[in-house]
Amino acid sequence: MIKVMIPSFNFASIPHIIFSPGAITQLFDIITRFGKIVLFIIGEKSLKKSGKWSEIIKNLEINSINYYYVSVSGEPSPTLVDTIVNQYRDKKPDLVVGIGGGSVTDAGKAISAMMLKKDSIKNYLEGVGTKKHDGYKIPYIAIPTTSGTGSEATKNAVISEIGSGGFKKSLRHDNLIPNYAIIDPELIISCPPSVTAACGMDAFTQLLEAYTSNKSNPMTDSLAYGGMKYMKDAIIPACTTGSSDVSVRSSMAYGSLISGICLANAGLGIIHGLASPIGGFFEIPHGVVCGTLLAESTKMNIEKLKELGTSGKLALQKYAYVGALFDINKSFDTTKIDYYCSLLIETLERWTSDLKIDLLGKHGIEEDDIEKIVNSAGLKNNSVLLTKEDIRKIVGNRI
């Protein structure tokens, strides 16, 4: 009998998850478990254009629920969070509900966390402030309308201050995970192709980086691999002929949700190590940064792992397992590691092209900016050690 030793690992809490087409209708029963006064944080356009916001308002009124709402756009800044908290603290909301993309769900998470505090969120951001959040918050429900960040399942809210000295930093505590995450694929149907593409690439990036992370464990491996299996055949249709197909949107929504769970437990790699400074220095959507760096970074990681020989074999095999998902033959052949890795790179490059993911240069990033970006980048839990020259090459190839 072969004995297999399961490595030790920790696994963070996740929200109460409700995943179903039409799940938004369960929101109103859930709200009443917390109280009768709700502060909604929503996006500026898509939810209203879809007609879903009107339906939500109608149901709130039917259920005699008092509500306030704020529309936000772009990634949340300290000023945005502080302003909304100061405006609505005296309204004493029983619950915060964030309905929108990753930026909206992060904003809602941060607002629920800061509603009981009397100072700026800046004081609690990792690497910025000196205080640690104690976890006390207003209950929070996250309802994504895009399939990207997986923020509905994580304990941190990413806050950005954009500019030459800008940053993307997290407000983080175990208790800041949403109390509920409602994933309704029907809410994602109205998401436009360009946003679907960038968000989808971000979610796949998170799954791949978590799967190949040096902190991965059997549980995150199973989840991440399964998430990629669902997403691999859905990402192109979701942006084209299958954009209104609930089954396609469900696959994307599931992959995004799982990516959030996996990143919280296995960590991420060089792509997100670059996304943080790039997003702080330049006004560029997070999904675009991840999407445009995905193929280049994967190619670099695979090259460096091959150079390591035997010591890089296990990590390289993981990339091969993902590449084999795109092979027409169903069985994995251990003699075809190089082929599977090449297939993965080719697929990611094709996605980048077919989905028209922007180059960094389209958002004002130039050759002269590379050094500043590289010097501020972190490897996080990348599958292999990269030099500054390796990182320069990744960024330079996407300018």
Q: Residue 2: its pLDDT value, please? A: 63
Q: Residue 46: its pLDDT value, please? A: 77
Domain with CATH 1.20.1090.10 in the chain: 193-396
Residue bearing tokens 């929070």: 140
Predicted confidence (pLDDT) per residue in 165-205, tens digit? 889 999 999 999 999 999 999 999 999 999 999 999 999 99
Q: Residue 77: its pLDDT value, please? A: 96
Percent of the chain scoring above 90 in pLDDT = 91
Predicted confidence (pLDDT) per residue in 107-159, tens digit? 999 999 999 999 999 999 999 999 999 999 999 999 999 999 999 999 999 99
Sign of CA dihedral 237, 240, 243, 249: positive
> Class of 16-188 per CATH?
alpha beta
| pLDDT reading at 3 higher than 80 | no
Q: Residue 1: its pLDDT value, please? A: 56
Q: What's the whole-model pTM score?
A: 0.95
Q: In the structure, what pLDDT confidence band is assigned to residue 164 with cuts at 50, 70 and 90?
A: confident
Give me the mean pLDDT over the 270-284 stretch: 95
Tell me the one-letter amino acid at 244: S
CA 289 from centre of chain? 12
Predicted confidence (pLDDT) per residue in 330-349, tens digit? 789 999 999 999 999 999 99
CA angle 345, 294, 314 (to 5 degrees): 60
Q: Where are the alpha helices (DSSP H) in 39-147?
A: 46-50, 52-62, 78-88, 102-114
CA 48 from centre of chain? 23
Question: Of 59-68, 229-238, 328-337, 370-379, which range is least confident?
Answer: 328-337
Nearest to 228 by CA among 329, 346, 336, 323: 323
Domain with CATH 3.40.50.1970 in the chain: 16-188
Predicted confidence (pLDDT) per residue in 288-318, tens digit? 999 999 999 999 999 999 999 999 999 999 9
**Whole-number average pLDDT of the chain:** 95
CATH of domain 193-396: 1.20.1090.10
Q: Residue 48: its pLDDT value, please? A: 81
Residue bearing tokens 């909206």: 104
Give me the mean pLDDT over the 96-105 stretch: 96
